[in-house]
Structures are given as structure tokens and as C-alpha cells.
Structure 1
Amino acid sequence: MEIKNITAMQQDAPDQGKLRLSVVSNTGYAPIQDAVIDISYTGDPESTVEEVTTDQNGQTETLELPAPPLEYSMAPSENQPYSEYTFRVSAPGYETLTISGAEILPDATALQEIRLRPLAPGETIDNIVIPAHTLFGDYPPKIAEAEIKPVSQFGEIVLSRVVVPEFVVVHDGSPMDTTATDYYVRYKDYIKNVASSEIYATWPAATIRANVLAIMSFTLNRVYTEWYRNKGFDFTITSSTAFDHKWIYGRNIFESISVIVDELFANYLSRPNVKQPILTQYCDGQRVSCPNWMTQWGSKSLGDQGYQAIEILRYYYGDNMYINTAEEVSGIPSSWPGYALDIGSSGAKVLQMQEQINAISNNYPLIPKIAEDGIFGEGTQNAVRVFQSVFGLPQTGVVDYSTWFKIQEIYVAVTRIAELNP
């Protein structure tokens, strides 16, 4: 793919996209304050357009950056629909990291989490290069598979029920590539990364939901059937588009996709009398044709026409496709109470949430400490609202489904740090 020169790219970027960065230590979930981030156009690293510093929560303010016209991402086009930026990140006591090729779409907020390694003797600068988006770059098409896998009665049997894993192990290459690195990735982070790599965040919310559900169901089929482990491999899924989805190490995600994944992450797609999640395959529908599969551009068109997510999915996969919910979510210390916690709520679940918020505030000091009394008052509401702001959730002050599980996720992360650093 030919890279445009910087002058042409600036002229072709009349719209604005948003960017928020967060910097944490990769030895735990500790935010790094006063990290300096130089932002430049990819291809012209000397053209610094912004320099920002992280706050107590390891985060920057939300920036606005030039991006191409919105219509480039709304229909198949030879024009690149996103601008590419390079981030050079430095902080005292940590290695310097450069990320090139981060994508900024118009009318969308990009979220870039940056993990820095503590500085070791002889280490200087690490580099991450983000390749092209799958709808714009050149990637091999998916090799067709049966959507329902036979269950062997011998040897390694599949899981007894559908469970959302805490982590998946991503093999960053094709299955037979023994040189590829394996990464442990939180399940939700994996889904957000894949969706940000496979579709555009500027698309209708129903289209994003349909694609996210297809990505999650496919992934949970790999988990449920232990597809690769039963073939002798030590990973859950690959980053090869020929075999699975595109996952890109170090890439930014998008807020509109992140919010939907947080809302849907325990769901998958099923058919009547079939226990396993359906292996929902798809293609772009422009460069590659895939009868009986969902096409990404086609799902965008249906979303434009007002179709809901389940209607988009049934249009492609048939009327007997249903949205199901996993029986268990792994890696959480306290299960969802089944209702939102708000002003006036009280009891054990409120107390657990207050204790967890206070533990999180030890690492994120902008989140105020609150009374651990099991009563959801204004102080708790304010702390929840600040938590939501820090972690990219709608700032309602209400502990809804998405906020509850985000509190669980971050609580587990920060308490594991405490265990590692007694």
C-alpha cells in the first residue's frame, strides 16, 4: 500500500477525530503520571502536532486531530478513511515506546492504551507498527469452516457449558507459524481490538452490535470447542484473517465500539438445540464474496436502513439465529446483582462495590474515597461517575451492567498488583 506524503495527507484531512491516551505500567495496572507523549503524522516523525502529559490517572485530555472526510468510511473507497499518527511516549524510569500507524477516524474518539516496561540496562526504544485496517489493507480471506463443530467423544472433550473467559491466548500469526508470539489478552480487550480492526467505528450502532456479536460468537466457539488446543496448540485463537479474526498488537480502539462491547460481552449467537456458540463467519462483501455469511459492508447498508442488530444477523444467517447469554463470566469476584445500583440502593452488593471502588482509588487517586456503609448515597454516586469518566464509560453515576463488570475487571487488576507488591 502506497503511503501518501504528509502534505497530501494534511490536505485530505478536513474533518476532525478525537483521541484520548492512557499510560500504565505493563508490570501491573498502575497508571503512570507525567508521561510525555509526542504526536506526529506517521511518515513524518519530525512533524510534532501535539505534545501532552498524563495526569494522576495516567491519562491525557481528549485531543482533536485532523482526519479524512467522513464519507470515506461510509462506503467502499480507494481513499484511506483514517489518518495515521505516531506516538512517542517517555516517562522517568520506563523505556521509551513508539507506536506508529494509530488510526484516527472523523467523528469518532480513538482510545490508545500504552503499556510501558520499567527501564532495564541496555534498553532504549521499543517500536510498535500498526498495519492497515482490514477493510483498507490487503489480507487473506477466511478459509470456510462448518459453523457447528462436531463434538468428539474421545480424548479432550469440549467445555460442558459456555463460559466467558477472563483471558484468551492470541497466536499472532497463522497456526503453523512457530515464530509467532502468543499474547495473553483480556477477553473484552480482545473483542474491542478485533472489532476496531475489522469494521469502522463511524458505522451505525446496530451494525457495530451485529458485528461485535458475530466476533464474540466466533471467538467463544473457539473457546468452547477448545479448537486449537485439541489440535495440539497452546493458544485459543490466531490473528490470521485466513483462520480467525484480525487482532493487532498495540493498536488503538474506538470508544463507540468499546461501549457496545462492554454492553454485550457476555452474549453470543446460538441456534435451537445447539449447545455451542455458532462459528459466525463473515467477509467484507466487496473484495471477497461469501454467500450465507454476513458481509461487513452489507451489514453497514442494513444499519443505514434502520435494521436492528438481530435483524441484520438473521438477514445473513437465517431466522433461527438467536442471541444467548453465557452461563458464567470468569475472573470476577462478585456476580452482577441483576439490577442497576443507584441512589437509594443498599445492601451487600452496594458494600462490595464501595470496597472495590476504594481499592481502585488507591491506584487512581482522582476517584474519591467513599464510606463503606452499604448505602448508595451522593458520595458513592460521585465516585462512580468519576470512575466512569476514567475508564471511558457513560458518566451516569449509576452502576449498570457495563459499569459493574468494569469495576470487577479493574478491581481484580489493581488487587493483583497489591499481591505482587506486598
Structure 2
Amino acid sequence: MNSSNERCMDNFIDWVESRNADEPEFIQAVRDLACDVYASYSERKAWQSAKVLERLSEPDRIISFRVCWEDDRGDIHVNRGWRVQHCGAIGPYKGGIRFHPSVNTSILKFLAFEQTFKSALTGLPIGGGKGGSDFDPRGRSDREIMRFCQAFMNELYRHIGENTDVPAGDINVGRREIGYLFGQYRRLANTFSGALTGKDIEFGGSHVRMEATGYGLIYFLRCMLARRDQDLETQRVAISGSGNVALHAAQKAIDLGARVITLSSSKGVLHHSEGIPGKEINRVIELRMDSTELLEKIRAAAGGDWHEGEKPWQFECDIALPCATQNELDGEDAKALAQNQCLIVAEGANMPCTETAIEIFKDRKILHAPGKASNAGGVALSGLEMAQNASFSRWEQQRLDEKLLEIMQDIHNQCVKHAGEHDGYVDYHRGANIAAFNRVASAVLAQGIG
């Protein structure tokens, strides 16, 4: 990028920062994209004239609302709820609902921003959005979870629909919560439609939906390895997290011959140098329990060492899959991975690597796949669930798994095409950003100013 473009990009980032004070996650996500796309953006005068990048740095709308609900003792609680509808230029807004005390506007804006470009990479007609609440479900009864979900949907239902905005699950929002949310939506809207994805198979859900993000991550990883004439056989894989994505990624990696040596929670890391047995992953994958309790169950059955307060990245591995949360892998972690000869980092969470970590990966020529590419399996399957709902059909598991594999292979090819290959190194991060931005920007430009 020449000095003139660098000044223009710096001015753009300054503008974003001035408009989004105290929203560091959102600013990080915008800056991450802009750094990779600004050189090509500056060459497209029509894009610049229409202020496409500026428009995409502002959500279409942010809906904020109060959520009042009653606990089992009859006490009333007041939480906040949000839905960020970032961009619907390619299709209905699409993105998960997250229930966690850390949820705020910045996090939801960054997730919706990332979702827009992740959706674009799938090639499906879906846009980007995200929603959630600062509600903490830990320690709550099933009845309390139900009442909260119903109260949340009492406001959200006005803003969603199969051709408008189609939420899905996210952290602390699984099949149970989607069931309660969908049931309340159906009653309020008086219609049975594909207004949410991630539903149970009995009422419009899809095979492979729960596995999709973790499986898709491994399918993308296989493509990265194949370009190096390698496969997953005997590879040592360090995974962070122990939720849906981490467990299904571990399951698929083990099935393909890898050794999964770590899983983690917010309290520490379970390390098993010989590899966690696949049968133990399969055994706990359907259990609903606290992540630390789940890891203790695996350790009791299979052995391994528990490292309190540690991260997975200190151990020797060939591949690192951060699958927990944003900015979990920092510069020091990246240096540790480089020192331990890690070859590939593929993101299973949204923006789990800090900007400093990404720079270290590039400097050390460690292949790095950003979440908007390697994490796209979940939204891809959500899009396929929407297609099944729209046609009142149910596709077989094998067909959906094959389609997921095809989509992840296509995303990988897009990344390689737009990044190029230099001395055997592919900048997947740059390729994903450019490929996704080109599709979204073209759609925004074609639809005029608004």
C-alpha cells in the first residue's frame, strides 16, 4: 500500500474510532478488515464514491430492549437485550444469540460485522447480524431459562422473520434455548416458519447443525494441510474451549487420525500428551454441564494433566485451534506456539487471536486461518436449514455433510485465490478478507445509496 493510501486508511480508522468510543472489539474487527482490503478498495473509484467501506462500518440498525422475567422464587429481574442487524445486502440478517454477562454493544457489533463477511464467503444468500443479552444462565433452573427466553422473544419477535432476520444459537444458547425461543415466536407471530435455525430435528431443524462449526473447521484445516501434501494423521492438535465447537472439532480431528492433546475452560487446561481418546469425546458430547466439570469427567476416564489457570498454547503441537472466545490467544501465546514449531493456527471462534498474535504468525510464516473463513461451517449449515424450511423438506445427513465439505473447500479456494501464494506461504487472513469484502461491497454498490 502506498503512503497516500496508508494516510487515507489511517483517516478512516480515526473516523471509526471517533464514532465508536469504548467499543474496542468492534474497532479491532473493522481495522482487521480495512488493513487487508484498503489497497484494492482505493483502486475502485465507484466503491469510494459510494462510501462503501464507511457504510459497512455502521450497522443497518441496533435494536435495544429491556427483558423482564421472574425467577423460581417470584423475584423480578431486569436484563438488557440487543439485536444488531449489520448488513442485509446479500440476504436476510443471519447470526446467533448469545446469553452471557459479558455481552454488550461492542461485542455484538463486532460479531455482527464479522458475520456479514463470514456469510458472504459461504456463497449463500444470507447477511450478517448478532443478538443477545447480559443474562447469566449459570445456576438457573430449566423453568427460569424458559421464562427468560420467552421474555426475550416477547420483544425480539417484532424484528425477525424468515425473510428478514434469522437468529441462531451461540454461547449459552443451544437446542433447549432455541426451542423455547422458537416456541414463543410461533405463538406471538401465529406462524410456523424458519425464523430461527438450530432447532430440534422434530420441528424444522437440520441434521449436522450442531456439528457444523467444528466439522467445518476441520474440513478447512484439511484443505490447508493438503496444499502442503499433508493430512491429519498423527498431527498433534491443541484445542481451546470445551463447548460445542471445540468438542465437535476434536471429534472430527480424532476420527481423521489426529491426536487432540488439549481442551480447556476458563479455569485451566486438560493436557493429554498421548491424545484424548475419541470415545471419551463422544461420551461427553451430548452432556449439558459446566465445562470444567466436563473436563474433569474426561480426565477421570482417560487421564491427562490438569493445569490450573493456564492456556493450551504452551504445549508442543503441530496445529492450534482456538475455539473459545475473542482475543483469547495473545502475542505471548503466539510466540510460544512459534517456539514449539506450530505450523497452522485455524480459528474456531470469532476473532480469538489478538492483532499482535496475528502479526507474529505472519512474521513467522505460520499459516493462519481467520474465523470468518474457518469458522463458517455453522452459518453455512444454518443457511442450508433455511433452505430446507423454505421448501418444507428434510435433507439426509450424508447430503448435508457433503454440502458442508463442499462449502468449506470453496471458502478455502477463495482465500487462496485472493491471497496468492508466495514461496509456499498463503496469507489466508488477507485472502478471506478480500474475498468476503468484494462480494459484500459489490452487492451494496449495486443496490444504490441507502
Q: Is the shorter-chain TM-score for this pair beyond 0.5, marking a shared fold? A: no
TM-score by length of 1: 0.32
Q: Which has the higher helix share?
A: 2
Q: Which has the higher strand share?
A: 1
